[in-house]
């Protein structure tokens, strides 16, 4: 029986640990050849290493094919090289999973500007750069072959980016930007048969260990089969990524999907909740407050109370 991703080639960034590692192993399990990228830094972006090697070893030991890449996604040359490596090592690139990221958490009044810039650099610039070079590759293939190439990009956002989180004005901003980037480049790459989607996972990882605790109610705890399912395993969202990377998912693009524990939520982008009109008249600032107050409370906008 043919595997879901048989014959596909994937590049997964930030795949030396945690969620990215889970994605790389899941893609390989379903037949993809994987370039495992990881700069080998700490969760704060410090140092360098060859953490990708251990993941490559696991894939190869299971009979799969993989190659390590130690590049920095935020460096233009290195981002281009990791895309090129997939083509050089395995003949092509079909799947790009942008997962690399770091955190430097502080309240906005305490956060050094450098910490904001670095987090934005890794998450936003890094996601854009790899997508940029993958897009150039797929465009050239489309022009040469005259047919849709079926590429897949799966980006990574988070609950912080979608709903905010205290102490993460840099990280949350970056993750929100990635959701917007996903929607935009899904439109730009549709012509080439490339889909672009965004996964919002949650799991116990090196990053979340410093900012999150996981509490389950007694009822929820009773429902968890500890022998077969760890709801906070870093790979819990990886099957969703594997399916989004497959040919079966060619009809879905520009979407944000939240995959947490045993639940998958399809999230809508910013959309009007209700509409207030001036009746083709200029708004009167002195009257606007009372109009908006009655309007907002009447529609019971999320997060607001009468």
The span from the CA of 57 to the CA of 71, in Å, is 18
Residue 290 designated active-site: no
| Phi, psi of 276, deg, nearest 5 | -115, 130
Strands of 66-69's sheet, edge to edge?
66-69, 33-37, 9-12, 95-97, 152-156, 195-202, 256-260, 263-267
> How many CB atoms lie under 10 A from the CB of residue 26?
24
137 tagged catalytic:
no
Annotated active-site residue 210? The verdict is no
d(C-alpha 34, C-alpha 37), whole Å = 9
Q: What are the helix (H) ranges across the chain?
A: 18-29, 52-61, 76-90, 113-120, 126-145, 159-163, 169-189, 218-223, 238-244, 285-299
- Choosing from 171, 200, 235, 246, which is the catalytic residue? 171
Query: Residue 93 class from Cβ within 10 Å (0-12 exposed, 13-18 middle, 19+ buried)?
Result: buried
Q: What is the rounded distance in angstroms from the CA atom of residue 162 to the CA atom of residue 177?
A: 10
Determine which one of 158, 200, 238, 246 is catalytic.
158
Angle at 235 between CA 73 and CA 43, to 5 degrees: 40
Strands 95-97 and 256-260: unpaired
Instruction: Name the catalytic one among 175, 186, 200, 235.
Output: 175
Map residue 82 onto helix, strand or coil. helix
Q: For the chain, report the end-to-end CA distance as a whole number of angstroms.
A: 59
The whole-angstrom separation of Cα 188 and Cα 242 is: 23
β-strand 263-267 against 9-12: which pairing, if any?
Answer: unpaired
The catalytic site residues sit at: 158, 171, 175
């Amino acid at each position: 029986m043919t595997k879901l991703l048989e014959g596909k080639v994937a590049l997964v960034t930030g795949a030396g640990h945690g969620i990215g590692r889970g994605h790389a192993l899941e893609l390989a399990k379903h037949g993809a050849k994987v370039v495992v990228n990881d700069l080998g830094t700490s969760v704060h972006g410090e140092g360098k290493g060859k953490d990708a090697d251990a993941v490559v070893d696991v894939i190869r030991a299971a009979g799969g094919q993989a190659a390590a890449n130690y590049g920095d996604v935020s460096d233009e040359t290195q981002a281009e090289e990791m895309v090129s490596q997939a083509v050089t090592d395995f003949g092509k690139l079909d799947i790009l999973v942008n997962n690399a990221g770091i955190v430097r958490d502080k309240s906005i009044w305490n956060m050094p500007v450098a910490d904001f810039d670095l987090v934005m650099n890794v998450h936003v610039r890094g996601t854009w750069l790899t997508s940029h070079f993958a897009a150039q590759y797929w465009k050239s293939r489309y022009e040469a072959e005259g047919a849709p190439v079926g590429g897949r990009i799966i980006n990574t956002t988070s609950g912080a980016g979608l709903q905010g989180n205290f102490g993460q004005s840099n990280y949350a901003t970056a993750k929100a930007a990635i959701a917007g980037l996903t929607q935009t480049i899904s439109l730009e790459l549709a012509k080439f048969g490339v889909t672009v989607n965004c996964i919002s996972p949650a799991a116990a990882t090196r990053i979340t260990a410093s900012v999150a605790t996981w509490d389950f109610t007694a009822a929820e705890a009773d429902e968890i089969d500890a022998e077969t399912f760890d709801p906070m395993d870093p790979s819990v969202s990886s099957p969703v990524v594997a399916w989004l990377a497959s040919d079966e998912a060619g009809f879905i693009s520009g979407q944000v999907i939240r995959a947490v524990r045993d639940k998958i939520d399809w999230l809508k982008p910013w959309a009007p909740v209700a509409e207030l009109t001036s009746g083709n008249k200029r708004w009167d600032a002195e009257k606007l407050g009372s109009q908006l107050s009655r309007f907002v409370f009447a529609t019971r906008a999320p997060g607001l109370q009468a």
